[in-house]
């Protein structure tokens, strides 16, 4: 049993969380709005924002949990994957603090942490389960054997599904990040209005790069005929794009469940906040007799709660880091 501080700084969210004996007490997230005006995350600006935010956020979660520095047993931080400069802020902070307090660091893999977010609240899945992890940088189908043992069954060969959401949104003239915007508009649209080709690759892998090209060509053709096409059909376009992406995700998820003979199914990562995907998964659960696990919204997108709970499991396994550990922007799974 231990008191762990978790720190997340892999992209554009600075977040800290305290986990006491396996229970996540709080989860503060500073979202960086500065990137909106550039249509995507600007790495240098992200690092500077992390530097600005990290001290107040860490102080706040410790104070909120009524924990003094001497009470901490370990500091978990995102080692990778992510933006190098952004990771450097969190990892340098965590390592310095741990050294000053003479406690261990616990380096955490960001994508594995998304999966372990399922162990923050009840109901918790039982091992082994299948997790579809869908974020801005990754799309993975995982067989989760234990908190520290996960096997990749399939993954994207090119773009992540979050990227496909964001790039499609850009084509529709929507601001960054486009995923949540598409989700919002889709709820008011007809998902069968437009059809887009679903690209396929063998086995349990995914490919999402083709869909944006297919959307681009379709829009070019329609806008030539009617320059107001996008504005006039925005909700239906969002709904049809979202439907196509969700069907692609679900197709391989169903295959994976069948192949592994597992009916405990979880989703994780930023795109698991998507209402259409959550609804579709619920429908499939009723049809296929799945027991499904969907994280609370605050634990779908990047957050330190998932880093702190990962820290808890790794601490139990005595999987500690070294002061010489450098951030790994492309950290192997």
Question: Which residues would be at the binding site for ligand KG4 (CB under 6 A)?
Answer: 11, 135-137, 162, 165-166, 177-180, 183, 269-271, 273-274, 301-302
| Closest CA relative to residue 9, chosen from 53, 40, 42 | 53
- Give 103 or 273: the residue with its C-beta nearer to ligand KG4: 273
For 60-77, the three-class secondary structure string (H helix, E strand, C coil) is: HHHHHCCCCHHHCCEEEE
* DSSP codes of every residue in 302-318: S-SHHHHHHHHHHHHTT
Alpha-carbon distance of 190 to 54, in angstroms, equals 43
Is 205 among the residues that bind Zn ion (CB under 5 A)?
no
| Closest CA relative to residue 48, chosen from 35, 58, 65 | 35
Alpha-carbon distance of 270 to 85, in angstroms, equals 21
Q: Which helix (H) or strand (E) holds 181?
A: helix 178-186
Q: Which of 17, 27, 32, 135 binds Zn ion (CB under 5 A)?
A: 135
Alpha-carbon distance of 289 to 151, in angstroms, equals 23
Selected range binding Zn ion among 89-97, 133-141, 222-230, 282-290, rule: CB under 5 A: 133-141
Strands 3-8 and 264-268: unpaired
Is 302 among the residues that bind Zn ion (CB under 5 A)?
yes
Residue 81 binding partner per list ligand KG4, Zn ion, none, with a CB distance cut-off of 5 to 8 Å that depends on partner kind: none
Is 12 among the residues that bind Zn ion (CB under 5 A)?
no
Residue 159 binding partner per list ligand KG4, Zn ion, none, with a CB distance cut-off of 5 to 8 Å that depends on partner kind: none
Residue 93 binding partner per list ligand KG4, Zn ion, none, with a CB distance cut-off of 5 to 8 Å that depends on partner kind: none
| Closest CA relative to residue 24, chosen from 56, 67, 53 | 67
- Give 159 or 302: the residue with its C-beta nearer to Zn ion: 302
State the minimum distance, in angstroms, from the CB of residue 262 to Zn ion: 24
- Give 98 or 239: the residue with its C-beta nearer to ligand KG4: 239
The residue of the chain with the least Cβ separation from ligand KG4 equals 270
Residue 189 binding partner per list Zn ion, ligand KG4, none, with a CB distance cut-off of 5 to 8 Å that depends on partner kind: none
- Give 9 or 105: the residue with its C-beta nearer to ligand KG4: 9
Please report, as ranges, the residues that interact with Zn ion according to CB under 5 A.
135, 302
């Amino acid at each position: 049993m231990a008191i762990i501080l978790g720190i997340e700084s892999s992209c554009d969210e600075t977040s800290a969380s305290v986990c006491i004996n396996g229970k996540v007490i709080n989860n503060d997230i500073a979202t960086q709005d500065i990137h909106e005006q550039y249509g995507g995350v600007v790495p240098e600006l992200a690092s500077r924002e992390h530097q600005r935010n990290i001290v107040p956020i860490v102080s706040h979660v410790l104070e909120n949990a009524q924990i003094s520095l001497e009470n901490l047993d370990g500091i978990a931080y995102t080692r990778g994957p992510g933006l190098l400069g952004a990771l450097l802020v969190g990892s340098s902070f965590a390592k310095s603090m741990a050294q000053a307090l003479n406690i261990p660091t616990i380096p955490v893999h960001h994508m594995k942490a998304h999966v372990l977010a399922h162990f923050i609240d009840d109901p918790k899945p039982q091992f082994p389960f299948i997790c579809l992890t869908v974020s801005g940088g990754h799309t993975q189908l995982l067989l989760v054997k234990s908190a520290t043992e996960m096997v990749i069954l399939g993954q994207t060969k090119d773009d992540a599904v979050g990227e496909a959401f964001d790039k499609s949104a850009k084509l529709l003239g929507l601001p960054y990040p486009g995923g949540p915007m598409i989700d919002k508009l889709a709820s008011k649209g007809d998902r069968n209005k437009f059809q887009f080709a679903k690209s396929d690759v063998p086995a349990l892998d995914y490919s999402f790069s083709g869909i944006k090209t297919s959307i681009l060509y379709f829009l070019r053709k329609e806008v030539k005929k009617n320059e107001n096409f996008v504005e006039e059909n925005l909700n239906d376009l969002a709904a049809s794009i979202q439907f196509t992406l969700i069907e692609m995700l679900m197709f391989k998820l169903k295959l994976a469940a069948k192949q592994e003979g597992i009916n405990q199914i979880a989703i994780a990562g930023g795109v698991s906040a998507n209402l259409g995907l959550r609804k579709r998964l619920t429908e499939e659960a009723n049809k296929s007799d799945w027991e499904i696990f969907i994280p609370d919204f605050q634990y779908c997108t990047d957050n330190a709660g998932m880093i702190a709970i990962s820290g808890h499991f790794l601490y139990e396994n005595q999987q500690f880091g070294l002061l010489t550990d450098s951030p790994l922007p492309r950290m192997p799974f």
